[in-house]
Chain A
């Protein structure tokens, strides 16, 4: 690769020097050149520009507008309007005039104000294990619970990355082996893990806990560990329901995500200044001190990048818990809400407006969290 560059450069350099001089004398060709640059520059990025604007930005703005209205498609609603027609008539929706399409009343018949869906987000209740609680709270709590895997995965991957960057043979092989779960389809993995976590399955024979119910059965701390406690919190509140099931998802996501972060940390560790390390060694620092005082500060940008991306990814968890257990407030992540209301996957009428409102709230959460992380980062540097 580098050789080809080098030879191409050598070949290229002679004509540059030879023809650069006469070009400077004329003024017109240069303008022509600039025109060409602008034209071709735009032309080359036009496909990507169109795609991104149409499929991301336009979709985002449409979602924002729809989230204030009442638009549903398919199923029982009888709405035959396309989303573009709906947006063209959006004014009538804001003015709360129901429309009659094909003899059926659609539009804001139920919706009393533009913020209807956003209000529902905070007022809808769900029942979990006999306990009523805020629906969004339940789903959001599950999502946050799954994010416990982020710090665990981080510690583990730094540990493995340090092991791999030792001067040993076969370090590359390990990197490849650890990355395998990252490239595998999560559907297959969930299906496999579901059988491995059966009461008589591999996991239990491995841990010597035959008959332990990972997937169904006891759903709170007290029952799981046979605690005879009078503590209401441990025994009966929503927060402690389904802990075991959620732990399984945490285990699986740590296992699946480890390889990717290890590679990032190995790359980060190779950038750590070897001279500083050696100097610290000569000054009598032991391995532990070198790790915390020399390696970690150099690794900080990688860690920061990793945390930001995994928090953004962690908030969007959907498939794993839904495929592992049934969809519901006990185990599903927040995205389940968006698609549960916003899409007619099961053939029910899909309220795109409601889904869009829930989606906008997710976008706000992610945006605020990311800003917060960057703020922390900026404060640390001062």
Chain B
């Protein structure tokens, strides 16, 4: 007790005289919220200075995080269609391209504001490796298919497994769960060559069935999704299920009528996260789908386009392609950021 009292007392007035310079320095420090031997800064001042400093640091960081996306957007409106050497427009781009699709003189060409997007969707992947009637929009549709079908079905199968692991008592439940959980120890690249051979043996690699390797495995759900939904289900009271059981509801009805609606936040968050993972899944498409197939997904299509000779100097349409690749997930993330960040925070606190 005495010790605390001692600490709370003000700095004793000592008989030491500081030089005026030291005294002034102390005043300056105190103004910026730092206590020293001559002056004691007020708590309010310290907090204010700390807040200002924090804002400066955070704003600077946020700028670095967001700037490349602004650059991407601005770059997609650059005009690089003037032949060799015109890609330097993009090199010098900082805020807005020096030659944008806005300010092309009418005499040069009929260039609309969305010129690069028009080029992308009309002739993005025509010719070269692809059929002359291949439409870039097809890759967008492919990507939607690859990231909606396996995710929706997969999240439901994962949720059903999670329900079984969290709320139904059956023999060997935990053993099966840990057996499944051990699968995350197997690194993906180690088995991908074998999966390639396996899928091709199962007839999933023919030109008509090239979509299968990106869809079929996803339909069975993923153990990590099941793990997080199970974590969430542990927080739900078991009495609901008991009550429903006594009222005569079967497990299937309990799952559809109670578990799915009640666990919706967790299911949605996991579904959104895996949607974004599937949307950006360049690897699977690159490995399992041959590059001239019409079934390639969007990142793969963008990469194919970047490799094309006719877009080496006219780079801006490829930038437009990268905007098309990024923008949908960004919009989705902006809409559901509360849910997604909340779910990630929960992951962090529970591990």
Contacts and interface: CB of A to CB of B under 8 A. Distances in A.
Interface of A: 1, 4-5, 8-9, 11-13, 15-16, 19-20, 23, 33, 36-38, 40-45, 47-52, 54-60, 62-63, 66, 71, 73, 82-85, 160, 163-164, 166, 168, 172, 174-181, 183-189, 191-193, 195-196, 198-202, 205, 255, 258-260, 263-268, 270-271, 282-284, 301-302, 305, 312, 315-316, 318-319, 323, 335, 338-339, 342-343, 345, 350, 352, 355-356, 359-360, 362-363, 366-367, 370
B178 to A, nearest CB: 12
Interface residues of B, number: 114
A56 B193 contact: no
A12 B242 contact: yes
Contacts of B163: 44
Of all A-B residue pairs in the complex, the 10 with the closest CB atoms, nearest first, are A51-B220, A41-B170, A267-B348, A188-B322, A12-B243, A359-B190, A82-B201, A342-B193, A355-B193, A44-B164
A51 B341 contact: no
Interface in B292-319: 298-299, 302-303, 306, 315, 318-319
Interface in B121-173: 157-158, 160-161, 163-165, 168-171, 173
Given A37-B169, A44-B251, A188-B302, 12 more contacts: A5-B236, A49-B180, A63-B191, A174-B61, A184-B330, A259-B65, A284-B7, A312-B187, A316-B189, A323-B303, A343-B196, A345-B287
B161 A44 contact: yes
B348 A12 contact: no
A59 B165 CA distance: 25
B251 to A, nearest CB: 4
**A interface, over-half SS:** helix
B56 to A, nearest CB: 10
A263 B180 contact: no
A185 B303 CA distance: 11
Given A179-B341, A192-B72, A366 B197 contact: no
B221 interface: yes
A260 B170 CA distance: 36
Contact of A166 (B54, B164, B186, B306): B54
7 contacts: A51-B217, A168-B55, A184-B280, A184-B330, A191-B302, A339-B193, A352-B193
B195 to A, nearest CB: 5
Nearest to A62: B194
Nearest to A46: B161
Contacts of A201: 91-92
A55 B220 contact: yes
A335 B188 CA distance: 10
Contacts of B239: 9, 12-13, 16
Nearest to A199: B91
Given A44-B163, A48-B226, A316-B188, A198 B91 contact: yes
Interface string B333-351: 1100100110011111101
B68 A192 contact: yes
Contact of B180 (A48, A180, A192): A48
A202 B242 contact: no
Contact of A47 (B186, B221, B283): B221
Nearest to A14: B243
A178 B91 CA distance: 25
**B interface, over-half SS:** helix
Contacts of B192: 338-339, 342-343, 359
Contacts, number: 334
A147 to B, nearest CB: 15
A60 B180 contact: no
Contact of A283 (B7, B323, B334): B7
A184 B180 contact: no
Contacts of A362: 187, 189-190
A186 B49 CA distance: 38
Nearest to B315: A195
A55 B195 contact: yes
Nearest to B286: A345
Nearest to B7: A284
B109 interface: no
Given A195-B75, A255-B65, A258-B65, A73 B169 contact: no
Contacts of A40: 164, 168, 170, 250-252
B351 A42 contact: no
A184 to B, nearest CB: 5
Contacts of A191: 302, 306, 318-319, 322
A263 B298 CA distance: 28
B263 to A, nearest CB: 10
A84 B306 CA distance: 37
B118 interface: no
A9 B200 CA distance: 51
B94 A202 contact: yes
A194 to B, nearest CB: 9
Contacts of A45: 160-161, 164-165, 176, 180
